[in-house]
Structure 1
Amino acid sequence: MTTDGITRAEYCVVACAEAWRDNGEVLASPMGLIPGFGARLAKRTFSPDLLLTDGEALLVGLDGRPEGWLPYRRHLTMVTGGKRHVMMGASQIDRYGNQNISCIGDWRRPARQLLGVRGAPVNTLNNPVSYWVPKHSPRVFVERVDMISGVGYDHAVGPYHRLPRVVTDLAVLDFATPDHAMRLASVHPGVTVDDVRAATGFELVIDGEVPTTRRPTAEELRLIREVVDPRGLRDREVRA
């Protein structure tokens, strides 16, 4: 619990929700508990036009009930036309946003096999992709990823490639720099810039005084605690 009575997890939910601010009518595809709560919070507040899906073949409303059919061919049209904004995880991510979820070590003889490349290349090249990292550490934030799954700014092609933000349990990061190197955008309450630096395996861009992550409004807190996540599952993923 932070000094203002708001948990670190609740700051993370709001920080994830902010990824979809001003997105308009796009398909929000959050992967993970905190991003899922963030997408639902965004739709209930400042991004009411967001489309939510059950992850299979339906568009769903705020209550989880079906509102429309989303067959695979329509889903692919949205994916390849910049009309979806994904928030994925990352086993590794580097300063330019290259992401790895495939393997650790040389891909020909990996020390550890992970999920595989999956849809990460298509996601990152064809629609906006943000990232959620529940444990910020030098093992995740690396100088160079072992294999590129999601494509970063130094390898990107295509008109829809965009990496709006990276949210972690410590901070919010973005790529709002001339060469699209990762920048420390804000730190969560109780976290210092030095804490984030120590947990990052490369030199972050620090642009002047780093602000504190936006505080949830009273209404956002009510929605998180009473409507979006009344069971408090968020605190299992992010502990103070």
Structure 2
Amino acid sequence: MSVTRAEYCVIACAETWRGAGEILASPMGLIPSLGARLARLTFAPDLLLTDGEATLVRPDGTPEGWLPYRQHLALVAGGRRHVMMGASQIDRFGNQNISCVGDWARPRRQLLGVRGATLNTLNNPTSYWVPRHSRRVFVEQVDMVCGVGYDRAARHPDTARYHHIARVVSDLGVFDFATPDHTMRLASLHPGVGVERVREATDFALVVPQDVPYTREPTAKELRLIREVLDPGGARAREVPEAVSG
């Protein structure tokens, strides 16, 4: 059965929480949310999910517990959460920007603001989801640092001792920082995507291994859950439409 690009992205996001244990998953965006719920239903049964307010929920959205804001902050401060945020810009060291484009004093475009990005990256594992991989997002240097990258974390080892960026997932592939200097590495390509396509869409020099694997195929069970249980309306295809291979 043919697997769509969006479904590979769901699988790649789900893998973010493999082996996580009983921690809070905080996915931001449709594809990451599908990934977290899929992980809970399959290989990460202890994962905690939230409705984004004050309730812990099952993958079908029904309540299973109470999570007041003070307890949510305790989970964040204690490192018992793995958040997957978006990134309007991200650089080779994983510095992320969701605040503004251009000079901070006079930006060309105002975005979300820093919000909780800094504390997320300093206190608990963080990953990123980028639905449109391009040079506008994967930049040489972010215009403002919201989420802290590896180069800046290294300057303050005491306050950043829990800093960890697990992975970056885009509509082209999966990336990590498993390099000696913690610069971004191409970890896997989504089937139908070539290395040159990723390089062309990235404004800095990626670390590219000699043999880059493909993002793993979903199992028959996972594909059924995505299509029949988690997203029967096919909203995932609107976030990641099918693209020309290359």
Q: Is the 8 A contact 2:93 2:183 kept in 1?
A: yes
| Aligned residue type for 1:64 | G
Q: Distance in 1 between matches of 2:26 and 2:113?
A: 19
**Equivalent residue for 1:75?**
72
For 1:208, the aligned partner's letter is Q
Once the 2 structures are TM-superposed, how far is the Cα of residue 95 of structure 1 from its aligned partner?
Answer: 0.2
Selected match of 2:160 from 142, 158, 161: 158
After superposition, the CA RMSD in angstroms is 0.8
Quick check: 2:174–2:187 contact (8 Å CA) kept in 1? Answer: yes
2:184 aligns with one of 145, 161, 182: 182
- TM-score scaled by structure 1? 0.97
The correspondence of residues 40-51 of structure 1 with structure 2, limited to 5 A, is: 40-51=37-48
What is the rounded CA distance, in whole Å, between the counterparts of 1:44 and 1:208 in structure 2? 34
* TM-score, scaled to structure 2: 0.95
- Equivalences for 1:51-90 in 2 at 5 Å? 51-90=48-87
CA deviation string 1:17-48 (max 9, x = no partner): 00000000000000000000000000000100
Tell me the amino acid that sits aligned with residue 196 of structure 1: V
Structure 1 distance, partners of 2:141, 2:60, is 42
The alpha-carbon deviation at position 63 of structure 1 amounts to: 2.2
2:6 aligns to what?
Answer: 9
Shift of 1:159: 2.7
> What secondary structure is seen at the aligned counterpart in 2 of 1:131?
strand
SS at match of 1:49: coil
Q: Aligned to 1:143, which of 136, 140, 145?
A: 140
Alpha-carbon distance, 1:160 to partner: 2.0
Q: Which residue of 2 aligns with 1:168?
A: 170
SS at match of 2:70: helix
Task: Show CA shifts across 1:96-144 (max 9, x none).
Answer: 0000000001101111110000000011110011000000000000000
Whole-Å Cα distance in 2 between the matches of residues 13 and 61 of structure 1? 18
Letter in 2 for 1:179: D
Please say which of residues 58-67 and 183-192 is displaced more in the overlay.
58-67
Structure 2 residue matching 1:201: 3-state secondary structure? coil
Match of 2:36 among 29, 34, 39: 39
SS at the partner of 2:152? coil
**Structure 1 residue runs of 4+, over 3 Å off?**
none
Give the letter for the 1:225 counterpart: R
Deviation at 1:208, TM superposition (A): 1.5
- In 1, Cα distance between equivalents of 2:15 and 2:63: 25
In 1, the alpha carbon distance for the partners of 2:137 and 2:3 equals 26
Paired position in structure 1 for 2:213: 211
Q: What's the CA shift string for 1:149-179, capped at 9, x where partnerless? A: 0000111142321111000000100001111
Partner of 2:156: none
Whether the aligned pair in 2 keeps the contact of 1:81 and 1:160 (CA below 8 Å) is no
Give the AA of the match of 1:54.
D
Map 1:53-132 → 2, pairs under 5 A: 53-132=50-129
Structure 2 gaps, min length 5: 154-158
Cα distance between partner residues in 1 of 2:18 and 2:181: 24
Equivalent AA in structure 2 for residue 169 of structure 1: D
Aligned residue number for residue 234 of structure 2 = 232
